[in-house]
Structure 1
């Protein structure tokens, strides 16, 4: 009897132990499942994905995106220095970087008279005492247009090449050859950043392309200069330009953007060709003015749609056009699927750096019930003439 009781007690205890063990494993499996679910949610929320088949697959499941125009360029500065170290000796890269610091010094000289400010200035001056070849130079290339076609992204991404120095402080656009020519060439040179002998300075002013005087004035400064033109579907560019200027010109057009885009003739609504955004989309007449002074070999034309889809290859093409050493690495580009725009990514961080979400204003554009077919009809003959002038066609 006692043995029988002992057997039942042991058997019951074994069952209890087995149940506790199973419960323990079930609890572990449940915890692991929860962790995996949370991990997938976080990855979905912060994933960074490359949208280009020619790029390395850059789905970054642990990364996140920072939306800041200034941080984009800070990332590009890190990329350009790393690119330099991959090809040049340390001392050459140090000289190039020191010359850029000298440009920052000139900007800092206007800062508040704080200890930190003075310390930074003195430190930069000490570094640059012997940089006699570091000076302001006139541009060797100019991005002449067009408005709302990606000129900001183009010039920033070109700066990934350490041999390219871009004009960006305090403002990107100088507009010297159309709006400030009376200030003289010395003023223009002083508006440029410092650069070394082996570097090329590039500025962008999209207003040059539609200017009546800019082609002649640019040619007078340097008849051998290289020009870069990025063009976008004229109908899309017109709407984008109107959207961008919407808040600036509201009062001028009685709070209705359509008062610029349209006019009425005999009670019939037609496109107003004198509207600034429409006038800037007649590429044929603008191109003809530039070809009067420059050969087609001096003007590198970029399709804005192609640049949006594959900026890496487009920027590489510009490197070849400028006849400089190539540095651009496709691993430093990725598409932000939330905005549709291209962003920068360094090799040493999981962070992606993108322009602020307001860039592009796609949602705002949709608020204007503009008849795109009217614009396409208006621009059709002008587009054909432009294709004939440049010797290539675009899908407009």
Structure 2
């Protein structure tokens, strides 16, 4: 009996103790909840305030983006595309790509548009991005690729700047540059077999006449030009057949999308050429004749920074063409080579003038 009574008492005490502990635990939890909920709400409130302030701060900053270029220089090689880029870069609205030539639409298109944008400067909404790659004009896939890219981005296609020059001077300058860079194996293959331009020209014209003789009808020649272009030696001449390449681009873009700059005039009177180019591109005219100075040591005009400093093109630019008494002079080009080239290009230049 006694042992049973003791068991009942022990159980009762245990129950009362558990009840007391549970009651105190509930009071403790209620107190914690009362203390923590306001703190939690305050934390959320502070966090939300921080994000709202961040949004407000970001909205107040100028919107900088790496935009696709609104102006693209498409050619032509050795006609002054580098000079035009440098001169235009002094305009307050213009921002040029981080490298001189991106070669995206001709060689690196498979890398995607995000890769292309990495070469673009960070610009505000009122600024204009300019890129140039002279090889674009002679690469048949480029026009369609530009349309596809800009359509996917949901923005208008760009304006195009095409610097053209006397194709005779262009061919000679192109060959001379390659001859000067014979340490480059790709270029030495093209010119290493020829002592000079005259020797090259004789061989190149003979090859062209053998496979695509000029019959007076330029369209017959155009049918063969893509095939001829596969011969890399002939490209020094074929890049100057402007009419063929331009008619290909006009299949995709209207004439008003092109600003054609005369490269020879850019050498003689850069101020006048740049004023006209700015007007055609819809820019405020900021770059004028007063901003250029003739530098005798270079034989060319440079941009005047101040009374004591000029900004000139780098070494290797303008080495084959100089300005003498207001005339572009091509040093090293023989009269015989000039005559042959003028005869070769004559029908194509006639057609080109009709197109523009």
State whether TM-score is above 0.5.
yes
1:211-222 mapped onto 2 (5 Å cutoff): 211-222=139-150
1:340-351 mapped onto 2 (5 Å cutoff): 340-347=299-306, 349-351=307-309
Q: Is the 8 A contact 2:303 2:311 kept in 1?
A: yes
Q: Tell me the equivalent position of 1:92.
A: none
Q: Tell me the equivalent position of 1:233.
A: 166
Residue 262 of structure 1 aligns to a residue in which SS? helix
Report the structure, 1 or 2, having the larger helix content: 2
Q: Which runs of 5+ in 2 are unaligned?
A: 1-57, 151-155, 215-227, 323-329
Residue 143 of structure 1 aligns to a residue in which SS? strand
Report the CA distance between 1:149 and its aligned residue. Answer: 0.8
Report the CA distance between 1:135 and its aligned residue. Answer: 1.8
Q: How many residues align?
A: 259
1:163-312 mapped onto 2 (5 Å cutoff): 163-167=93-97, 169=98, 171-222=99-150, 224-246=157-179, 247-248=181-182, 249-256=187-194, 258=197, 260-263=200-203, 274=231, 275-312=234-271
Residue 388 of structure 1 aligns to a residue in which SS? helix
Q: Which runs of 5+ in 1 are unaligned?
A: 1-127, 391-396
Matched, 1:353 2:311: yes
- Give a deviation string over 1:298-357, Cα, whole Å, max 9, x none: 10111112211221122122222222333224322111233321111124x422332345
Residue 72 of structure 2 aligns to a residue in which SS? strand
Report the CA distance between 1:363 and its aligned residue. Answer: 8.4
Q: Is the radius of gyration larger for structure 1 or structure 2?
A: 2
- Give a deviation string over 1:356-382, Cα, whole Å, max 9, x none: 454222289745656111111111001
Moved over 3 A (4+): 128-132, 251-255, 257-262, 268-274, 363-370
- Give a deviation string over 1:229-287, Cα, whole Å, max 9, x none: 11000011000011111124234443425565332859x99999851111111101100
